[in-house]
Structure 1
Amino acid sequence: MFQSNRHEHASGFIEFRTESLTGIRTRICPERVKRGIGVPDIPEYSEEGCPFCPEKVCQVTPVFPDGSRLKVGDSITFPNLYPFAHYHTVTVMSGEHVVRRFTYDLIHNALSGQIRAMKDQSGYVSINWNYLPSAGASLPHPHLQGLCDAVPDTLLMKYLRGSLEYYNEHNQSWWNYLKESESQTERCLKGTDLFWYAHHVPVGEKEIRCILPATTVSDFQASVSLFSEDLIRILEFYQDMGHGAWNMSIFFATDDEREYFSAFATLVARINPNPLSTSDTAFMEKLHLEPVILTLPEDLGNIWRNCNGNQ
C-alpha cells in the first residue's frame, strides 16, 4: 500500500511514506508530540451574534430557490452565503452553540439533510465538517458543508485516476484490495459496523478513514445510519485522546466510476483549540488538498502599485 523510508536521528526517527496508488507523501515524526502543544479542553465561545443559533438562523440565512430551508430533526440546511463551489450548502446541526458530545440523532439528521440537498446534483459531491475555529470553522456552532463541482478536486482526482489505472491493470477494485490488506494490519479499527482504519499515509494528525459501501451520495443513504453510529465512536476516541477539534470530508464520485471507485470518509484531529482566532487551514486545505484563497493575485498587484505609487 505504501513505500517507507526511516531516518534515525538523535531524538528518534522520521518516517517518510509514499502512497503507492496516488504518490501522496507524508512525514511522520513521533518525537514531536513531546512538545506538548495539544490542549484537550474545548474553549467557551460566546453565542452573541451567532447566525446559526435558533433565534437567528431562519432570519438571516439564505433560502433555496423555492424559498425553503431543508429541515431534518433539529438540523437546518440552506445555501452557503459565501460559496467556494458551484453548489455549496450548509447544514446547522443543532440548536446548541457548542456541542461537547455528539449524539446519533445530531449526526444522522445533519448527514441526512446533506444527502437530501445534494442527491440531485450532477458532478462530484463531498460532505465536510470543520469543528471549531482551530479546525478552520468560521463559527463554533456545529455545521456541515456540502460541495458539488463539475470536476473532482485534487485529492479525489488522485484516487480516481489511480483506481482506474489499478482496475485496468488488475481487473479488480483497488478499494477491495485496500480493505483486504488493511484488515490484516494493526491499523485496522475493529469493532465498527463499517470498515475503518488509520490511514497508512496520513495527510493530517491521527487520520482515520472509512471505506463506504457506496459510490455516489445517493448510495450513502443506505449506510448513513451505520456510519453515524460509527462516527460517534470515532469522535469520542478523538476526544478521549485530547482532541476537541477536527476536520472531516466524505468523498463521492459518479455512476460512471462505480466499477472501480468506493466513496470514503476521512477525519483528522486538530490541536490547540483557540477562542481568539480562526485557522486558515480547514477541510479544503487539509483533506481536499486545495486551498481557498481570499485575495485575487491581480488585486494584490494593484494594491502594491497603489501603495508604492507605481501605476
Structure 2
Amino acid sequence: MEIKFNKQEETFSFYSGNGDAINRKTEIRFDPLTGETSRIIFDAGLTLTPPDYSEAARQTGGKNCPFCSENIFYMTPVFPNNITNKGRIQHGEAIVFPNLFPYSKHNGVVVFSGQHYVKLQDFTAEMIKNAFLAAQHYIQKIIETDSAVKYVSINWNYLPEAGGSILHPHLHVIGSETATNYQQQVNNAVQAFEQTNDHAFFEQLSVVEKKIGERWIGEIGEVAWMHAFAPKGHNDFLAIFRNKQSIFDISQDDWEHFATGLKLIFNVFKEQGFTSFNLLTHLSVDPNAKQTPHMRIIPRFTIGGLNTSDINYFQALHQEPLSYKYPEAIAEIARKYFN
C-alpha cells in the first residue's frame, strides 16, 4: 500500500449583482492515512487583529491565579503516593498536578513556569522542553501504576480563542482505558497500513513528504516537521518523532529538538496574525506497536467585529475541517524559518 495524496475539485458558478460571472473553487483533500476529507475554500483575504491579553493578565494574575507561584502549592490538588510522594511532579520550573475537572481516568495539568501571561514570541525552548518532560514523567507513572491505561496524549489549549480558561500557560495530559475518536481512527488506520508494509506509517510519511518537498519543512535532530496534506485547520503542522515507537523512546534531547522546532512554528503563526492554537501529541504506550509519536498543531482565532469563531457547523457537526490556506503555501513560509 503506497501513501497517496488524493484530491478533487468542485466549482460553484454564479453571477454578481452586475452580471459578472464568478467561479469559486473548493478543493477536497483525502487524508493519506484515514481517508477523511477536508476542504480548502476560497480565501477572501483573511486579516486578523491579534488580541492583547495584557490587561486581562493584570486582572487575573498573581493572587487571582491558582497557577501563579504564590498560590500553586496551596490552591492546586496533589497526586496519591503511587504517582509521587511529593504531591506534585516537577521538572525545572514545570509543575504537574491533578485536574480538578478531569476529562478522563487520569488527567494531569502541567504549568510551564511562574510567568502568568506568555506571548508566543516569549516562550523559550527550555520552558517548552521542561513542560513536555514533566508530562512524560507523569505518563510513565500512570503506566507503571495502572496497567489498564492504553491511550495517552499531551494536549495544549493556548489562550481563550483555543478554549484556554486560564491565561497562565498549561498543558493537559490524558490517560485512559478508552481511545478518543482521533486515537482510534489513527490506530486502526496505522494497523491496516502495517499489514501490507514493512514501515510504520508516520515514519514512511516523513520519508515520502521529504522526497516530494511540497509540504516538507525541515528536521531538527530526529524530529521531522511538515504540513498536513489534508489539514484540520487553517494551518496544520505535523511533527514526527522519527525512529521512536512509544512515549518511552523519547529522550530529553528529542524534547529539546521538538521545542526548538515548535518555537519556529510560533514564528509562522505570528507572521500570519495567529496568536492562539490547539495542540495534540499522540503517543503509544506499547513499545512493540510501531506507533511513531507525532504532534499536530492548528491555529485558532476569531473574525470581525463580532469576534466570530473560526469553527462553524461544518467543522463542529459535519466534522469536516476547512482551511482558507493551501498547505503547500504555508509550508513554504515555514521553511524559511527552519532554514
TM-score range (shorter-chain normalised) is: 0.7 to 0.9
Query: Which amino acid is 2:257 matched to?
Result: L
TM-superposed deviation, 1:177: 2.3
Query: 8 Å contact 2:245–2:287 — kept in the other structure?
Result: no
Name the structure 2 match of 1:224: 255
Name the structure 2 match of 1:104: 125
CA distance in 2, matches of 1:192, 1:11: 42
Partner-residue secondary structure (3-state), 1:106: helix
Query: 8 Å contact 1:41–1:273 — kept in the other structure?
Result: no
2:103 to 65, 84, 87: 84
- CA 1:221–1:256: 2 relative to 1, 3 Å: closer
TM-superposed deviation, 1:95: 1.1
Name the structure 2 match of 1:52: 67
**TM-superposition CA deviations, 1:1-45 (whole Å, max 9, x none):** 33211123435421111114212111111424x253x22243322
Name the structure 2 match of 1:268: 298
**TM-superposition CA deviations, 1:84-107 (whole Å, max 9, x none):** 111000011121111012001110
Task: Spell out the pairing of 1:48-197 with structure 2 (5 A cutoff).
Answer: 48=61, 49-66=64-81, 68-100=87-119, 101-122=122-143, 123-183=150-210, 184-190=212-218, 192-193=220-221, 194-197=223-226
Aligned-pair Cα RMSD in Å? 2.6
CA distance in 2, matches of 1:257, 1:158: 19
TM-superposed deviation, 1:220: 2.0
Query: Which amino acid is 2:237 matched to?
Result: I
TM-superposed deviation, 1:257: 4.9
2:29 to 17, 22, 36: 17
Query: Which amino acid is 1:54 matched to?
Result: S
CA distance in 1, matches of 2:310, 2:109: 19
Partner-residue secondary structure (3-state), 2:153: strand
CA distance in 1, matches of 2:49, 2:287: 44
CA distance in 2, matches of 1:256, 1:55: 40
Query: 8 Å contact 2:92–2:130 — kept in the other structure?
Result: yes
Query: 8 Å contact 1:39–1:271 — kept in the other structure?
Result: no
- CA 1:173–1:81: 2 relative to 1, 3 Å: same
CA distance in 1, matches of 2:92, 2:220: 25
TM-superposed deviation, 1:221: 2.8
TM-superposed deviation, 1:239: 1.6
Query: 8 Å contact 2:79–2:87 — kept in the other structure?
Result: yes
Q: Which moved more, 1:88-97 or 1:174-183?
A: 174-183
- CA 1:280–1:186: 2 relative to 1, 3 Å: closer
CA distance in 1, matches of 2:265, 2:248: 23
Query: Which amino acid is 2:60 matched to?
Result: E
Partner-residue secondary structure (3-state), 1:2: coil
Moved over 4 A (4+): none
Name the structure 1 match of 2:328: none
**TM-superposition CA deviations, 1:226-265 (whole Å, max 9, x none):** 1111111111221222111111110111326533x21100
CA distance in 2, matches of 1:191, 1:68: 37
TM-superposed deviation, 1:160: 1.2
Query: 8 Å contact 2:248–2:285 — kept in the other structure?
Result: no
How much identity, in percent, do the aligned residues show? Answer: 27
CA distance in 2, matches of 1:209, 1:143: 21
Partner-residue secondary structure (3-state), 1:58: helix
**TM-superposition CA deviations, 1:250-305 (whole Å, max 9, x none):** 0111326533x21100000111399x99x898xxx99xx8xxxxxxxxxxxxxxxx
